[in-house]
A and B are shown apart, each in its own frame.
Chain A
Amino acid sequence: DAGVTQSPTHLIKTRGQHVTLRCSPISGHKSVSWYQQVLGQGPQFIFQYYEKEERGRGNFPDRFSARQFPNYSSELNVNALLLGDSALYLCASSSQGGLAKNIQYFGAGTRLSVL
């Protein structure tokens, strides 16, 4: 069975540009969460979507947005990129909507470099 897949694996952008990251959850999983992992830090929660609705949002500016499609895949969009947005962006899927108790299955991430 395929795990969580993310695309692209690497991305280089310049300041002010826009980026779209994509994630396909494990088959049957309806919850997708996005995390930002800056080098040397733990993952920081950005969004959770469950059944195509936003269920949680972390402390990130409005430049960050996301959506979930009918097939439960998801996109993370970041506008007006800043140098500080350079990070590994992780997508995680879960079989249940609540994150509190449930195991999350992570993709390998998209490495975004903003120059």
Chain B
Amino acid sequence: AQSVAQPEDQVNVAEGNPLTVKCTYSVSGNPYLFWYVQYPNRGLQFLLKYITGDNLVKGSYGFEAEFNKSQTSFHLKKPSALVSDSALYFCAVSSQGGGYQKVTFGTGTKLQVIP
């Protein structure tokens, strides 16, 4: 079975400081990894994904994530946080296999950027 762990329920960071939202995963085979963001009363919006290739993935709104196979991690990062980045962030994992594969989401991390 595949799983995702987001160890921090909430991350607080000052505006302008770098931010990191942590994610570790467990999956059989090669992982496909995603980050989605959810604003209040909205659905999830795609930020970035890792399928294969370069371990550093760049996504929307200045976010990036680094795939680390040995640590089974896919942490989300941004060099300079904005107040508008405050939202709920979900890491998700799937894997290549027979048939159609489902995506497993983590429990989410609330990011609070303090002005």
Q: B43 in the interface, Cβ–Cβ < 8 Å?
A: yes
Given contact pairs A50-B100, A55-B100, a sample of 8 additional A-B residue pairs in the complex whose CB atoms are under 8 Å apart: A41-B108, A42-B106, A42-B107, A43-B44, A90-B43, A90-B44, A100-B103, A101-B49
Query: From residue 34 to 56 of chain B, which have CB atoms closer than 8 A to chain A?
Result: 34, 36, 41-46, 49, 51
A-B pairs, top 4 by smallest CB distance, nearest first, are: A106-B43, A42-B105, A100-B101, A55-B100
Q: How large is the interface on B (under 10, 10 to 19, 20 to 34, 35 or more residues)?
A: 20 to 34
Query: From residue 49 to 98 of chain A, which have CB atoms closer than 8 A to chain B?
Result: 50, 55-56, 58, 90, 92, 97-98
A90 CA / B95 CA spacing, docked (Å): 22
Q: Could you tell me the dominant secondary structure of chain A's interface residues?
A: loop
What residues on A are CB-neighbors of B90 within 8 Å? 42-43
Expressed in whole angstroms, the minimum distance between the Cβ of A92 and any Cβ of chain B is 8
Tell me whether A99 and B94 are in contact (CB under 8 A): yes
List residues of chain B with CB under 8 Å of any chain A CB: 4, 32, 34, 36, 41-46, 49, 51, 90, 92, 94-97, 99-108
Q: Scoring A residues 10 to 51 as 1 if CB is less than 8 Å from chain B, else 0, what string do you get?
A: 000000000000000000000000010000111111001010
* CB < 8 Å neighbour of B32 from A58, A101, A105: A101
A76 CA / B4 CA spacing, docked (Å): 26
What residues on B are CB-neighbors of A101 within 8 Å? 32, 49, 51, 94, 96
Tell me whether A99 and B43 are in contact (CB under 8 A): no
Expressed in whole angstroms, the minimum distance between the Cβ of A91 and any Cβ of chain B is 8
A105 CA / B36 CA spacing, docked (Å): 10
Tell me whether B43 and A109 are in contact (CB under 8 A): yes
A55 CA / B44 CA spacing, docked (Å): 22
